[in-house]
Chains A and B, each alone.
Chain A
Amino acid sequence: MGGSSERQLEGSHLDPEPSGITIEQLMLRYQQADAGAATALIEQLSPQLYRFFAAQLGNPDDASDMLQDTWLRIHRVRHTYRAGEPLLPWVYAIARRVRVDNYRKRRRMSMREVAVEILPETPSKTEATGELSRFDQLIADLPASQREVLILLKVNGLSLEEVALATSSSVGSVKQKAHRAYERLRSLFPSLRAGKGAVL
């Protein structure tokens, strides 16, 4: 599984920061109010955080809103990062909390809307995910915890240990979820291939 706790940043991303600086070091500078470090960190981590949200939500607007919420929350709780600890699990733990809070907020709002207005025709699941490929649809149909683990491991490239920390669970539990997700995808995939070979 890819990913290491200390990732080397590319010099081009960090101008004028010196190359070879780690995201953990940038975070420590950010805590000391170094605007350059904060900007570099946002530029370095935002694309993969955005992928984390987009891969699960499928809606780019929602994903960018959540990305912004995540950075604002990171900013508020930046003092809780401790030197010497891996940064990515800390960041992703906040990101997943933002996603959960956002989901709950939307659910509350939708419940209120249904209660006072005429129930609109709800689009079918196939229509709602029309923009996604069938493989994406299979991913979307996975249980939320399995999908999240799969995305963190395979899309965001975190290690098993990092995913375990970010999700406050054990490495064994992460392995089990990933295994179940693979089993499910594998069992569903032949039908997908028969239906639409263009995925491969």
Chain B
Amino acid sequence: MTEHELDGLLSARELPTLPADRLKQIETAVTADLTPVKPLAPAGVYLAGFAGIFLGIWVIGCVIAGQRGWRALSELQKLGVLAPLGACVALLVFSIVRQMTPAGKHVRSTAAFSVASFALLLVTMAVVFRPAYESPFVHSGLVCFRTGMAFAIPAAMLFALLLRRGAGLSPALTGATAGGLAGLVGLAVLEVHCPNLNVYHIMVWHVSVTLACMIGGLILSSVTFRRWRSNS
């Protein structure tokens, strides 16, 4: 059986025809509340918007919370943290902008690459930071977690403002991406602010800001989308 013969069979399949009354129904429903809409701004505008929000809140966070952590880091640690963090942020920004419109290019691959770069960030952190004894592990950790969230939540709200005009075909993925990006704002602020170089402190309390935001974004976007769909 050749490909040509299979093509012939596929195109010769008898499929039911669309009922004319259903077509009329659709036309009536669509044209009933027809109002002009403003097309979505070019992707570059949204790329700049997401990147601008990230950088803006990061800089504000560093100014408000202080940069003691940055001064405590060695050159290798600075490079080991900032390089994968920057790659992860860039990929997430690309992914989220592409998720805003149906038929966005490479939506899944950019999301997968950003997860890979986040994994690389974790591995690098585990390598460049050393374990150290820390008596108030939970207390100092919670302080860092709260500080990270204090900057991640406003970032998430601003990202949601930008996202509200998007199509949201995969709300769970979009929510997780936006949440992850907001969480990275918190993580980036903490890496500059927190002078605690204990690897366990960083892996548990700094990274948990990103994970908490990612899960929060996933849940919130799924619930919001379900409500939006049931209302419409």
CB <8 Å contact, A93 and B229: no
A40 to B34, CA, bound (A): 14
> Per DSSP, are chain A's interface residues mostly helix, strand or loop, or mixed?
helix
CB distance from B11 to the nearest CB of A (A): 6
A89 to B105, CA, bound (A): 10
User: Do A71 and B11 form a contact, CB below 8 Å, given A93-B102, A190-B1?
Assistant: no
Q: Judge if B224 is at the interface, Cβ distance under 8 Å.
A: no
Q: Which residues of A contact B76 (CB under 8 A)?
A: none
CB <8 Å contact, A182 and B40: no
Quick one: which of A60, A93, A155, A166 contacts B16, CB cutoff 8 A?
Answer: A60
Size of the chain B interface, CB-CB below 8 angstroms:
46
CB distance from B77 to the nearest CB of A (A): 36
Q: Judge if B29 is at the interface, Cβ distance under 8 Å.
A: yes
Q: Judge if B101 is at the interface, Cβ distance under 8 Å.
A: yes
Quick one: which of B7, B9, B39, B229 contacts A135, CB cutoff 8 A?
Answer: B9
Q: Judge if A136 is at the interface, Cβ distance under 8 Å.
A: yes
Quick one: which of B19, B23, B29, B108 contacts A169, CB cutoff 8 A?
Answer: B108
CB <8 Å contact, A185 and B6: yes
Additional A-B contacts beyond A90-B103, A165-B105 (16; CB < 8 A) = A31-B36, A31-B37, A39-B31, A42-B27, A51-B15, A63-B16, A64-B18, A64-B22, A79-B37, A81-B101, A93-B169, A97-B102, A168-B107, A182-B6, A185-B1, A199-B9
26 CB-based A-B contacts, threshold 8 Å: A31-B37, A31-B39, A35-B31, A35-B34, A39-B31, A42-B26, A43-B27, A46-B26, A47-B18, A64-B18, A71-B26, A75-B30, A79-B38, A80-B40, A80-B100, A80-B166, A81-B39, A82-B42, A85-B103, A94-B102, A165-B105, A168-B106, A169-B108, A185-B1, A190-B1, A199-B9
Contact residues of A with B, CB < 8 Å? 31-33, 35, 38-39, 42-43, 46-47, 50-51, 54-55, 60, 63-64, 67-68, 71-72, 75-83, 85, 89-94, 97, 101, 133, 135-136, 139, 150, 154-155, 165-166, 168-170, 182, 185-186, 189-190, 199-200
